[in-house]
Structure 1
Amino acid sequence: MASRRDDLLDAAIDLLGREGVRALTHRAVDAASGLTAGSTSNYFRTRDALFDAIVERFAARERANWEEVAAHLAPRTTSDLAKGLALFARDSAGRNRTLTLSRYAILVEASRRPELRAQLAATGARVSAWFGTWLRLVGSTDPDHHTHVVGNYLTGLVLHQLAIPDPAFDPTAHLDALLTSLIQNQREQGQ
């Protein structure tokens, strides 16, 4: 069961994803959460304190989403991995759209507030570790490099789908082509 603090932070994440950073005020979070005025400021005295807690809560929620994917993903081929990543991309742009939009807002805010970068890096390290393992399973001998390439490509796919939605969005074939290309290229170069 979520605590009142978590309820406030979930409302703040939803507000951030729906309306952006400028809409994020203590009063707006109170209204979005349905709690009494002043509830947010009782937990988070400043906007910076609120934002720091949002990043922490966001990271926990996104980590749970990745763990859900990871629990069902043990790829043996690039096609297997592409299907899993495509499922995550569709989920990020669909069911978890608001959470994903809040991630992009947090990333932009991190460009202005360097102290948020450490929190984001810690969350990203766990996702990168899964990526690296999955890439090794499908034949990568340079999983660090391939994680960077595939992760950035996946981020771009999701961002594009959020900005210009395609009802038939299915990046499986594109992801498989990218993964196959990376693995074949390393073989041709003798890595």
Structure 2
Amino acid sequence: MTSIRERALEAAVDLVGTQGIRALTHARIDAQAGLPRGSTSNHFRTRAALLTGVATWIAEQERGALGAKAAQSFDDVDGFIDLFTEMVELLTGPYAVRTRARYALFLEAASDPELFAPLQAQREAMVAWSANLLSTLGARHPDAATHAFMAFGDGLVLHRLSVDPDAAIRPTVAIAVHGCLSA
């Protein structure tokens, strides 16, 4: 059974991911989640606490959804390309609303270290995972390759979320991975 707190957080992610950060109010979350008025504020007294709670929730959900995939390691390029393609498909398909909410929170968090912390921790885990795999696969310059690959991944996800939801993924990922390995 889903707790009131979880219902509120799920509703908050849905609001931010579909209507933007301005839609995030305690009252709107209560209405979206079908909760009695004041339920969300019982768990998150301030807007800052609410934003931090949502950011932490998103990071937890992504670790759960993508954690098993990220735990895989590869010694072949095609396996990495397939895995990363699948992750982009998830982030821009079934988890698109949550991904939009995460991006909105990243922008909101630019001047708020407390809000930024759970998002940054999640990002750092993804960077470490990518760096390890690119290094294992033989990247000549792993640090530069990781930086380029992360920027590419962000761009591809943003492109699919905002411009072309049906943009091809695997061929583009293959070019990026091969470029990162050979540069």
Please confirm whether the aligned pair reaches a TM-score higher than 0.5, indicating the same fold. Answer: yes
CA shift digits 1:29-87 (9 cap, x unpaired) = 0011111111011111111111111111111011222213224x432232221221111
Aligned to 1:4: 4
State the Cα distance separating 1:141 from its structure 2 match.
4.5
Preserved CA contact (<8 Å) 1:21 1:105: yes
| CA deviation vs aligned residue, 1:75-115 (integer Å, no higher than 9, x gap) | 22322212211111111111001000001100110124233
The answer as to 2:99 corresponding to 1:100 is: yes
Between the aligned partners of 1:103 and 1:129, the Cα distance in structure 2 is 19
Equivalent residue number for residue 173 of structure 2: 175
**TM-superposed deviation, 1:119:** 2.4
Q: Distance in 2 between matches of 1:133 and 1:65?
A: 20
- Asked if structure 1 preserves the Cα contact closer than 8 Å seen for 2:12 and 2:24, the reply is yes
Tell me how far apart the structure 1 counterparts of residues 176 and 44 of structure 2 sit (CA, whole Å).
44
TM-score, normalised to structure 2's length? 0.91
Measure, in 2, the Cα distance between the counterparts of 1:114 and 1:130. 23
Q: Distance in 2 between matches of 1:55 and 1:35?
A: 21
More displaced stretch, 26-35 vs 77-86: 77-86
Matches within 5 A, 1:34-73: 34-71=34-71, 73=72
d(CA) in 1 for partners of 2:155, 2:24 = 25
Number of residue-to-residue matches in the alignment: 183
- Structure 1 unmatched ranges of 5 or more: 186-191
**TM-score, L = length of structure 1:** 0.88
> Contact (CA 8 Å) 2:140, 2:182: kept in 1 or not?
no
| Contact 2:131–2:146, Cα closer than 8 Å, also in 1 | yes
Whole-Å separation in 2 of the counterparts to 1:143 and 1:62: 25
Tell me the SS of whatever aligns to 1:107: helix
Q: Percent identity?
A: 34
**Which of structure 1's runs of 4+ aligned residues deviate more than 3 A?**
none
